[in-house]
């Protein structure tokens, strides 16, 4: 029987009451900000499909890292555009590549900012796939040893966390082994455990010059129609030694975030990807939506769904709004 004396609106009567009973409170501490580092010096070039995001040379990446830390954002995730590409993506583990140099420089300048290295090959291979090819097929096991090199090179540069985004089977265990063998036992693995083959990555692929030159990624990334498979991927990665579990993209997959949250006792991250960001920016630039309100509502929903960590290009704006 319903309690007819109960009026739910009493808990919404004033800002103070709403604040007292609020269940989910977003803070800058929830965010990871992704950056794109490029060769050269004093480069800060706007990325057209991601307004507010830039290609940054290492010197400017360091400046931005200081800004992130000052805003209370705890971590930066480093993506890179290399100086050269080849069949196997060997610039991905070159200590002289922008990513490795940026990791080292940021660690030196802002030691308390956490650094996440994105471990994949698609930005570094001529064909744009996330692994080593055998004909037109991405060879899973041959790719693992390359991913090990990438992870170790980033750990060596000073990364606190490595984040494999390639979706090869067995990569978490392989990377854990390589990190441990290299005496990087305290470097964590944030696994893109549940990564869907998504149209929402479009602007990122332009920004990172990482679109596959033939075919697509559906043989390794997940089918958007599946949710039981998400839990299977999570179980595998937990078994293999992942420290943090990621669901990607975020917005169209908040049901998955919730299921994963209820399934494991590990920190959950979700990636508010480039296409989600671009849609909000485009509508805001047209004056069709209230950007601040929409962004904070969206990010709050990700946290409410169960994410402990939100990787988002909105991090700087959102942190400024939250700090107001
Ligand atoms: C590459 C990678 C992608 C993203 C992060 N790492 C795209 C892809 O799988 O093609 C997407 C990020 C975004 O869209 O913001 N492994
Ligand atoms: Zn990739």
pLDDT in tens, 171-211: 999 999 999 999 999 999 999 999 999 999 999 999 999 99
Residues annotated as part of the active site: 195, 248
Residue 210 alpha carbon, nearest atom of ligand 1 = 10
Residue 195 alpha carbon, nearest atom of ligand 1 = 9
Question: Above pLDDT 90, what percent of the chain?
Answer: 98
281-310 tens-digit pLDDT:
999 999 999 999 999 999 999 999 999 999
Query: 4 falls in which pLDDT band (50, 70, 90)?
Result: confident
Ligand 1 center–CA 205 separation, angstroms: 7
Q: Whose CA is nearest to atom 2 of ligand 1?
A: 165
Residue 34 alpha carbon, nearest atom of ligand 1 = 15
152-174 tens-digit pLDDT:
999 999 999 999 999 999 999 99
217-249 tens-digit pLDDT:
999 999 999 999 999 999 999 999 999 999 999
- Give the pLDDT confidence score for residue 3 in this predicted structure: 77
Q: Domain 25-323's class?
A: alpha beta
pLDDT of 2 strictly over 90: no
Ligand 1 center–CA 23 separation, angstroms: 31
Q: Model-level pTM greater than 0.85? A: yes
Query: 63 falls in which pLDDT band (50, 70, 90)?
Result: very high
Tell me which of 151, 210, 219, 315 to substitute to probe ligand 1's pocket, judged by most ligand atoms within 8 Å of the beta carbon: 210
Tell me which of 78, 121, 219, 273 to substitute to probe ligand 1's pocket, judged by most ligand atoms within 8 Å of the beta carbon: 273
Q: Domain ranges in the chain?
A: 25-323
Question: Above pLDDT 70, what percent of the chain?
Answer: 100
Integer Cα distance of 66 and 106 in angstroms: 8
203-223 tens-digit pLDDT:
999 999 999 999 999 999 999
Ligand 1 residue neighbourhood (C-beta within 6 Å): 118, 120, 122, 130, 165-166, 201, 204-205, 210, 217, 273-274
- Give the pLDDT confidence score for residue 1 in this predicted structure: 62
Q: Whose CA is nearest to atom 7 of ligand 1?
A: 201
Ligand 2 center–CA 18 separation, angstroms: 43
């Amino acid at each position: 029987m319903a309690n007819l004396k109960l009026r739910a609106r009493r808990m919404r009567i004033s800002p103070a009451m709403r604040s007292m009973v609020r269940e989910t409170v977003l803070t800058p501490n929830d965010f990871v900000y992704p950056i794109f580092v490029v060769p050269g010096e004093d480069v800060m070039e706007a990325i057209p499909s991601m307004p507010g995001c830039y290609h940054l040379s290492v010197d400017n990446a360091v400046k931005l890292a200081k800004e992130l830390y000052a805003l209370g954002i705890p971590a930066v995730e480093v993506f890179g555009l290399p100086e050269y590409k080849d069949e196997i993506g060997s610039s991905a583990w070159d200590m002289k590549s922008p990513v490795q140099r940026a990791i080292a420089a940021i660690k030196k300048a802002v030691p308390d900012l956490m650094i996440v290295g994105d471990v994949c090959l698609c930005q570094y291979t001529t064909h744009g796939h996330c692994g080593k090819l055998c004909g037109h097929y991405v060879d899973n096991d041959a790719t693992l040893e390359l991913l090990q090199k990438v992870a170790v090179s980033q750990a060596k540069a000073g990364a606190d966390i490595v984040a494999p985004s390639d979706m090869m089977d067995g990569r978490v265990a392989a990377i854990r082994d390589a990190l441990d063998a290299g005496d990087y036992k305290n470097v964590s693995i944030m696994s893109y455990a549940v990564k869907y083959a998504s149209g929402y990555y479009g602007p990122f692929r332009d920004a990172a010059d990482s679109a596959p030159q033939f075919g697509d990624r559906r043989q390794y990334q997940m089918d958007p129609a599946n949710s039981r498979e998400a839990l299977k991927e999570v179980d595998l990665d937990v078994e293999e030694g992942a420290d943090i579990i990621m669901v990607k993209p975020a917005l169209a997959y908040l049901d998955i975030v919730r299921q994963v949250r209820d399934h494991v006792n590990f920190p959950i991250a979700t990636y508010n990807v480039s296409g989600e960001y671009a849609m909000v920016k485009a509508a805001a630039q047209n004056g069709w939506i209230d950007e601040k309100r929409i962004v904070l509502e969206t990010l709050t929903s990700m946290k409410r769904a169960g994410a402990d960590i939100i990787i988002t290009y909105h991090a700087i704006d959102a942190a400024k709004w939250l700090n107001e």
